């Protein structure tokens, strides 16, 4: 294994690689040419944890040298660049490209997905990102490199879960508000109409004074599923069930969840068994298309 990019999230990849007993042969930061490492070491799998605009060029470089690729979200900073990777991957049918939408592996997410025939839902991502967060890594506040703000960087996991729970999104509407001094949004609201007739609403911001827990509520005829860390199921007959969500052990931030290791282990398993990994760039693009459409409508 090799990890390219020493961004904040790389710590959970490194911890998972160690815990899973995989052999880490290289960690490459921005000061080192990743192509030299790929040519010399030819790793079996490359984890990409770089700024968004570097995802696709590095992924294609890795594929061309025979490496499987596991990308941090989003697929790319633009839809066009993401679609370039989807097209390029077809030239390497024996190699896999996976995307880290790890919240699909959460205990609560798997239960909701398996048990809910949803009529609708709502979600909030109410976090805090001070000016220092963007000053430390300026690309985060530059649309040309990041692709956007709170939606593509923080709320994309929640948008992905909502479309995974409720079905493909047929229409999106909403508004975005800027972040002072930057050209990316700091606050956004969305209304999603799903193909099967369900509707969901999402509010996301990094203007809060603290990082509050992500909330998701999914409404069915028989129960309401409420995720706020743990999962609470409120049944129509008055019963209530609480199912605990495991805490992270990787040293990563608590709001990232505890499921990176589960996703990475599943990616490795798929490769070792010659099976397709299910969260492909095409699958990950579903939530990114939603975000891009809202950006387009607010441009």
The CATH number linked to 59 is 3.40.50.720
Does residue 249 carry a pLDDT above 80?
Answer: no
Evaluate whether residue 259 is within a structural domain.
no
CATH (domain of 196): 3.30.360.10
Average pLDDT of the segment spanning 243-254: 71
Residues 87, 53 share a domain: yes
Residues 239, 115 share a domain: yes
Single residue among 42, 72, 101 that ends a domain in this structure? 101
**How big is the chain by its Cα radius of gyration, in Å?**
19
Evaluate whether residue 128 is within a structural domain.
yes
Evaluate whether residue 271 is within a structural domain.
no
Centroid of chain to Cα 141: 18
What single-letter DSSP state applies at residue 219? E
Residues 122, 222 share a domain: yes
Long-range CB contacts (within 8 A, 24+) of 233-241? 233/111
Residues 127, 124: Cα–Cα separation, whole Å:
9
Number of domains forming the structure of the chain: 2
Evaluate whether residue 263 is within a structural domain.
no
Evaluate whether residue 280 is within a structural domain.
no
Residues 71, 186 share a domain: no
Query: Max CA-CA distance within the chain?
Result: 63
Single residue among 84, 101, 118 that ends a domain in this structure? 101
Centroid of chain to Cα 2: 20
Predicted local confidence at residue 250, as pLDDT: 52
Does residue 267 carry a pLDDT above 90?
Answer: yes
Residues 66, 159 share a domain: no
The b/e string for 248-284 (b: 16+ C-beta within 10 A; e otherwise) is bebebeeebbbbbbbbbebbbebbeeeeebebbbebb
Q: Which domain holds residue 51?
A: 2-101
Residues 64, 26 share a domain: yes
Residues 112, 237 share a domain: yes
Predicted local confidence at residue 7, as pLDDT: 86
Evaluate whether residue 286 is within a structural domain.
no
Single residue among 244, 267, 286 that ends a domain in this structure? 244
Residues 292, 289: Cα–Cα separation, whole Å:
5
Evaluate whether residue 25 is within a structural domain.
yes
Evaluate whether residue 7 is within a structural domain.
yes
Ordered strands of the 223-228 beta sheet:
169-178, 185-194, 199-205, 118-126, 215-220, 223-228, 230-235, 240-243
For residue 226, the tally of other CB atoms under 10 A from its CB is: 21
pLDDT averaged over the chain?
A: 95
Residues 220, 138 share a domain: yes
Which is more confidently placed, 131 or 252? 131
Q: Is 105 helix (H, G, I), strand (E, B) or coil?
A: helix
Q: What's the pLDDT tens digit per position in 153-180?
A: 999 999 999 999 999 999 999 999 999 9
Residues 116, 236 share a domain: yes
* Phi, psi dihedral angles at 126 (to 5 degrees): -120, 90
Predicted local confidence at residue 30, as pLDDT: 80
Q: Is 295 helix (H, G, I), strand (E, B) or coil?
A: helix
Q: What's the pLDDT tens digit per position in 12-21?
A: 999 999 999 9
Which is more confidently placed, 292 or 116? 292
For residue 88, the tally of other CB atoms under 10 A from its CB is: 16
Residues 155, 121 share a domain: yes
Residues 216, 148 share a domain: yes
Cis peptide before 74 (omega within 30 of 0): yes
Do 146 and 137 touch, CB atoms closer than 8 A? Answer: no
Does residue 253 carry a pLDDT above 90?
Answer: no
């Amino acid at each position: 294994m090799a990890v390219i990019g020493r961004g904040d999230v790389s710590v959970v990849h490194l911890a998972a690689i160690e815990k899973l007993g995989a052999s880490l042969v290289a960690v490459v930061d921005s000061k080192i040419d990743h192509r030299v490492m790929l040519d010399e070491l030819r790793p079996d799998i490359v984890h990409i944890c770089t700024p968004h605009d570097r995802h696709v060029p590095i992924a294609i470089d890795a594929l061309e040298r025979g490496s499987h690729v596991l990308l941090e979200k989003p697929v790319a900073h633009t839809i066009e660049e993401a679609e370039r990777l989807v097209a390029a991957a077809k030239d390497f049918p024996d190699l896999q490209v996976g995307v880290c939408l790890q919240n699909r592996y959460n205990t609560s997410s798997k239960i909701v997905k398996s048990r809910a025939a949803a009529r609708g839902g709502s979600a909030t991502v109410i976090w805090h990102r001070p000016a220092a967060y963007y000053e430390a890594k300026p690309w985060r506040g530059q649309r040309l490199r990041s692709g956007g703000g709170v939606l593509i960087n923080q709320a994309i996991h929640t948008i992905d879960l909502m479309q995974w729970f409720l079905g493909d999104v047929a229409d999106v509407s909403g508004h975005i508000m800027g972040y002072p001094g930057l050209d990316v949004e700091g606050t956004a609201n969305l209304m999603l109409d799903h193909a099967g007739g369900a509707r969901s609403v999402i509010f996301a911001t990094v203007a809060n004074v603290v990082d509050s827990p992500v909330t998701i509520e999914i409404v069915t005829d028989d129960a309401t599923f409420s995720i706020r860390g743990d999962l609470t199921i409120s049944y129509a007959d008055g019963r209530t069930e609480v199912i605990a969500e495991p805490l992270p052990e990787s040293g990563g931030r608590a709001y990232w969840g505890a499921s990176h290791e589960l996703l990475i282990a599943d990616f490795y398993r798929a490769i070792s068994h010659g099976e397709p990994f299910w969260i492909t760039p095409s699958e990950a693009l579903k939530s990114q298309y939603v975000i891009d459409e809202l950006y387009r409508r607010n441009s």
